[in-house]
Structure 1
Amino acid sequence: MTAPAFPILPDPEDARLTRRIRGIDHSGNEAEISVVEERPLTIFLNSQEIVTAMTIGDHPDYLALGFLRNQGMLRRDDEITAVDYDEDIDTVVVRTRRQTLYEEKVKKKTRTSGCAVGTVFGDMMEGLEGLTLPPAELRTSWLYALARQINTTPSLYLTAGAIHGTVLCQADKPLIYMEDVGRHNAVDKIAGFMFRHTIPPGDKILYTTGRLTSEMVIKTALMGIPVLASRSGFTAWGVEIAREVGLTLIGRLRGQRFVCLAGEERLVRDADPAAVGEEPAKARRKGARDD
């Protein structure tokens, strides 16, 4: 299947993703604001129920495929025979040619630090042993260009807040932009898109608005992407795992500043930070949270 060209998703104008709600502001005056929708999505793999995730509800097919792929329940060579979504019961069923059974894996569940409660099954480190990420190049000029483009792109966050964004990039170009109430969901949507459209990961960069946690590092490494960057900060275990697997980890990327805590050998410093300048106030407000 051929991937569509540069979809920047989701659509901030999609009425299904937000709701106008009235309340009272700090001055006691009536206020009406846009609030992000949140709904359950139950994911099946063939006949087995795997998980119910809380999500904004867009792209359930990519979310289901990416979640299953990142959990090791879908293999790289699995043939997907169907992805069926029933909006009435908020359920998506991924069907494969191969028979699957993951009862024991599903019994071992870990609740992660992701907002909207991220969940991983089995050993969190499963699949990382012997993993080798490609020796890709990362130019600092790309980082600065990506930050400028992503932070000024119309998004659901700018409309309603309470949302995380994840962007798949190549060099200095954003390719796929996904948002969700949990950063893990946004990453899984990217993973599902890549799996469905056979997008190679070796020359890609993953950008996220959320913290660089162990879960985010593990997902990125399992996707085969060699660089993970964020506006936000790090967790110690996330940094430790990134160093173990050879992932380049860039955090606190704002304006002319960033910090690299792993994989610095990929960095090519081809831009003068002084020439980049500080972020505009609007972009600073967008990245003010460290979540």
Structure 2
Amino acid sequence: MDGKVLKSGRKIRIKKIKASEIEAEKIDIIPSELLLTIYLNNISISTISCSPFNLIEMTIGFLINNGYVDKYSDINLLKICNNENNETAGQNKFSRKIEVFTTVKSDKNVILKNQKYISSACGSIDDFVLGNKLQKIKSNVRVNSEVILKLNIETLKHQKHKKAHGGLHSAALFDKNGSISVIMEDIGRHNCIDKITGHILTKRLPINDKIIFTTGRLSLDIIYKISKMLIPVIVTNSSITYSAAIMARKLNLTAIGYARGGRFNIYSCPRRVT
């Protein structure tokens, strides 16, 4: 349903410049961007800049990871509202809203206090959520280093939208043997993780032996989202911040960075890598 909101890429006329060459006009394809406003029990809680697909999964992941909903079973109804008139309403055609109703009502004052706009470049974990104590990850899964080395290649191989027009981050869910379960793409690295969360919850997947590979930097809020899911291993082909590495150590999360070109660095809980 949500895949029909916008295409993942849109055609646009550009001028292409090369050194010592005459300007040439061509049609290029660039990523689409959607402003999605989430309403929780008729209250607007957030507007997220995102790619226009897998919106259901992203919304579920966002609500769980940011503490607006405690568990997936609390969600009673979730629907995307498409206003057909928006297609001719200028900028409005790039915005949609999604309505979520829960069996357990959230604290209205907390929701209104934390209402915000989230850009594609910036993630968000609310202060009241960071104050909550997370469980330490108890998984005893072991992952062979050869599997870690293949995750970047496997993720690149399964990218669909990025191959078409570039400009997107990716996150993929693997098992301990390196078999891919799903890949999510988005203009925002945090949105990719929320989409993975939503997929895990809607498909009721076991997480004890799972690995998430992401093309985005591992910051404190990303580590929080991964730890909240109790995923034991997170891998990126990019960097990790100091605060994220320290938090990963405290929560027994195996965090791996710079996993590309036949190498990687383990920043926490190396016992899970053999």
Q: Structure 1-normalised TM-score? A: 0.80
In 1, are the aligned partners of 2:233 and 2:254 still within 8 Å (CA)? yes
Aligned match of 1:85: 80
- The answer on 1:56 being equivalent to 2:48 is no
CA offset at residue 39 of structure 1?
1.3
1:1-291 matches, within 5 Å, as 16-27=7-18, 28-76=23-71, 78-88=73-83, 90-104=96-110, 106-108=112-114, 115-123=120-128, 125-171=130-176, 172-268=178-274
Helix, strand or coil at the partner of 1:157? helix
Q: Which runs of 5+ in 2 are unaligned?
A: 84-94
For the residue of structure 2 that corresponds to 1:78, the secondary structure is helix
How many pairs align? 256
Q: Does the aligned pair in 2 maintain the 1:164–1:183 contact within 8 Å?
A: yes
* Gapped regions of structure 1 (runs ≥ 5): 1-9, 269-291
Question: Could you say what secondary structure the match of 1:262 adopts?
Answer: coil
**Aligned-pair RMSD on alpha carbons?**
2.4
The 2-side partners of 1:60 and 1:77 are apart by 15
% same residue: 25
Return the offset for 1:157. Answer: 1.7
Superposition deviation, residue 189 in structure 1: 0.8
Letter in 2 for 1:60: L
What does residue 280 of structure 1 align with? Answer: none
Instruction: Describe the shift of the 1:110–1:129 C-alpha distance in structure 2 as closer, same or farther (beyond 3 A).
Output: farther
Closer, same or farther in 2 for the Cα pair 1:111/1:265, shift >3 Å? Answer: farther
Change (3 A) 1:147 1:77: closer
Quote the offset at 1:211 in angstroms: 0.6
Please state which structure has a larger fraction of its residues in helix: 2
**SS at the partner of 1:188?**
helix
Match of 1:247, as an amino acid?
L
What one-letter code is carried by the residue in structure 1 that aligns with 2:104? R
Q: TM-score, normalised on structure 2?
A: 0.85
The one-letter code matched in structure 2 to 1:81 is N
Other structure's SS at 2:267 match: strand
Give per-residue Cα distances to partners, 1:223-266, cap 9 Å, x unaligned: 11010001111111111111111110111111211111111011
Equivalent residues of 2:159, 2:185 under 8 A apart: no
